[in-house]
A = this chain, B = another copy of it.
């Protein structure tokens, strides 16, 4: 983490290392360069936290994205106040970044508030652009043709894995905890996601990526991505209106599905246009710029249709087929995603106020109950999917169910958008974050156990004969 102590003591001692230039304090009425300074310092904190968190997670063999999330919690409203937002109820004076700016520029309280608001708005939009680029990248990595091989088995696992946690979560929150309908629906929806990145990485390490169980899990996770993003688009729209209207729900489900299907239907036109455009261009950015014009235009259309911008970005990635410029795009988008996506993950953690789940405070017990309930539904609701598989005697149903558990980045997208829309109160938001963290932490060791038990049960001879097949397949997919 950036060593604040290196500069802060001077401030505490009342020493000003900058020359007192009173003429500078009165100038700059709009504070534009100070907003930029705030954004730069916030980005330095965000990037440093994201790398420290990702590396720490990697060292103990957990997905890096979880480390970024936890690092976000550490630098955010829950602890260090390095990255905070006005919506959390905190003031400009609570922000470390604003205190540094105040100390350098001798700002008035009004200027502090206005700069804090502007700077937070910019970081929020950067985070939203980050999640748009993330979903574009996930779309690019999802291969719909892969699904044809695993077919119905994967589809049924995916549908059960969406319906069961969604219904159990929503109904349970409303019946047991008297959560308002919209918030309960949103939290239920957050339970539906499956992180293909985390699961496929663990499967690869275990040498099970190409096994029947592995194929079903990965296929179901891809379908889950698509279903989840439709659910998210519908639920986020409901959250905006604040009421559940059945015609509205039907309109949203139809338009989200039509949007995705329409994109897939027009895929050939998009692909030809993309390849032709890229081939015609001769200046720098000849691949990146057409790709982002397409992705941002689709994101804008998703937003304009009262769905979600990320639905459009995901669709844009999904329909860009294998082609020479597409394959090069996969490489070029990586540094851009590395540059933008951490802003999203860290701010999701930073916005989550985990202090509302402190068990030592009696008022928090209801929130804790919700968190425990969500975690239980998140695990049980996915484990049961293994028993939805049919016509596959001897298949490891437990392993399939456990493979569907980790929520990872997709669950975070739900939490982030839920918080931004203001539909989730603090305990519910914190409960979802904890649910995402725990399911993602738990899945890898449990999956190893589930597959390990099976292997112990089978004959050692077969196992060693298949040893070469079971060797870990190197996979570069990351959280």
Which residues of A are in contact with B by a Cβ distance under 8 Å? Answer: 2, 18-19, 21, 23-24, 27-28, 30, 32-33, 35-37, 39-41, 43-44, 47-48, 50-51, 54-55, 58, 64, 104, 118, 121-122, 124-125, 128-129, 132, 240-243, 245, 248, 251, 280-286, 288-290, 292-293, 296-297, 299-300, 303-306, 309, 332-336, 338-339, 342, 420, 422, 478
Pick from B19, B35, B248, B300: contact of A251, CB below 8 A: B19
- By Cβ-Cβ distance, the 9 closest A-B pairs, closest first, are A285-B338, A54-B283, A40-B300, A332-B335, A64-B283, A37-B303, A23-B241, A288-B338, A122-B125
Which residues of chain B come closer than 8 Å to A283, judged between CB atoms? 51, 54-55, 58, 64, 478
Asked if B37 and A104 make an inter-chain contact with CB atoms under 8 angstroms apart, the answer reads no
Q: A37-B303, A104-B304 are in contact. Are A32 and B118 (CB under 8 A)?
A: no
Q: Which of B51, B297, B299, B422 contacts A290 (CB 8 A)?
A: B51
Inter-chain contact A35/B125, CB cutoff 8 Å: yes
Q: Are B420 and A309 in contact (CB under 8 A)?
A: no
A341 to chain B, nearest CB (A): 9
For this complex, 11 residue pairs linking A to B, each with C-beta atoms less than 8 Å apart, are A2-B297, A18-B305, A18-B306, A23-B248, A27-B242, A32-B420, A33-B240, A44-B293, A47-B296, A54-B284, A333-B335
A251 CB to closest chain B CB, in angstroms? 7
A340 to chain B, nearest CB (A): 9
**A18 touches which of B104, B132, B304, B309 (Cβ 8 Å):** B304
* Smallest beta-carbon distance A242→chain B, Å: 6
Question: Which residues of B have CB within 8 Å of A36?
Answer: 125, 128, 303, 309
Chain B residues, CB < 8 A from A335? 285, 288, 332-333, 335-336
Instruction: Give me 6 other A-B pairs in contact (C-beta within 8 A), A23-B248, A36-B303 excluded.
Output: A18-B304, A36-B309, A44-B297, A51-B281, A121-B121, A285-B342
Name the residue among A50, A51, A245, A283 with the largest chain B CB count within 10 angstroms: A283
Closest chain B CB from A447 CB (angstroms): 21
- A133 CB to closest chain B CB (Å) equals 9
Cα A336 to Cα B337 with chains together (Å): 9
Determine how many copies of this chain the complex contains: 2
Q: Are A39 and B289 in contact (CB under 8 A)?
A: no
> Is there an interface contact between B336 and A23, defined as CB atoms closer than 8 Å?
no
Q: Return A55 CB to nearest CB of chain B, in Å.
A: 6
Given A33-B303, A37-B304, A283-B64, does the pair A240, B293 have CB atoms closer than 8 Å?
Answer: no
Q: In whole angstroms, how far apart are the Cα atoms of A188 and B356 in the complex?
A: 58
Complex Cα distance, B289 from A282, in Å, reads 29
Determine the chain B residues whose CB is within 8 A of the CB of A30 once the complex forms: 422
Q: Which residues of B contact A420 (CB under 8 A)?
A: 32
Do A32 and B124 have beta carbons less than 8 Å apart?
A: yes
A321 to B124, CA, bound (A): 34
Complex contacts, A33 vs chain B, CB 8 Å: 240, 303, 309
The chain B residue sitting closest to A331, CB to CB, is B335
Q: Which residues of B contact A37 (CB under 8 A)?
A: 300, 303-304, 309
